[in-house]
Amino acid sequence: MFCPKCRTEYRKDFNTCADCDIYLVDELPPPTPEQLKDLERKNIERRSRRRFISSLIIAPLFAPLTMFIIVALHAEWVERFSPIRTTGWLTSFEIVMSAGAIVSYVFVILLGLPLYFIFKRFGLINYWSLAIGGTAIASIPVVLMGLSEGIKKIQENYTVYFMLAACGFAVGNAFYFVNNWRNTNLNAREGR
């Protein structure tokens, strides 16, 4: 059984469409151009929602991953960034990823999402707005530290700023590429 309007398929024991409130038919007539456009629009919206949710889940994990890579490359920074004395790389990775993921999700939800929706409302979402936005949001703690303790304190701890900025940049990039992976893939294949 099918709904002639939204073309949703139902089991045999249904008589009316739950969404359109019209009687179901045994066979669907060929779709009209308007129905084809409507189906395509719904599919695009559904895929877009799924990619957005995937971005929200995956992107924040790139902040602690970036932090771990930077710290691993600069072993002398480990003592500065790890208040807990760790034994071995696996323990360090677990601590950075779990604590960093929590902080990253908090930043994304409290600051990133509202800004994303504001930018989206004005049509300003693109690669650069997400990458620079991620960098700026992640740098907020350093800016607040500068306001409370002075610019000299930031200059002394420039490595903290660099690390947070890199984490934010990674999250912004991840959000863009996960949210637009299909378009990015098509453009790359077509040489754009």
Per-residue pLDDT tens digits for 14-50: 888 888 888 888 888 787 788 788 878 888 888 888 8
For the chain, what is the HEC assignment? CECCCCCCECCCCCCECCCCCCECECCCCCCCHHHHHHHHHHHHHHHHHHHHHHHHHHHHHHHHHHHHHHHHHCHHHHHHHCCCCCCCHHHHHHHHHHHHHHHHHHHHHHHHHHHHHHHHHCCCCCHHHHHHHHHHHHCHHHHHHHHHHCHHHHHHCHHHHHHHHHHHHHHHHHHHHHHCHHHHHHHHHCCC
Residue 42 maps to a domain: no
Whether the pTM exceeds 0.75: the reply is: no
- Establish if 31 belongs to a structural domain: no
Question: Does 3 map to a domain?
Answer: no
For 138-187, the pLDDT digits (tens) are 888 777 777 777 667 666 767 778 888 999 999 999 999 998 876 644 44
> Is 79 contained in some domain?
yes
How many independent structural domains does the chain possess?
Answer: 1
- Answer whether residue 26 is part of any domain: no
- In-domain check, residue 4: no
5 belongs to a structural domain: no
Question: For residue 89, is it within any domain?
Answer: yes
Domain that holds residue 182: 48-189
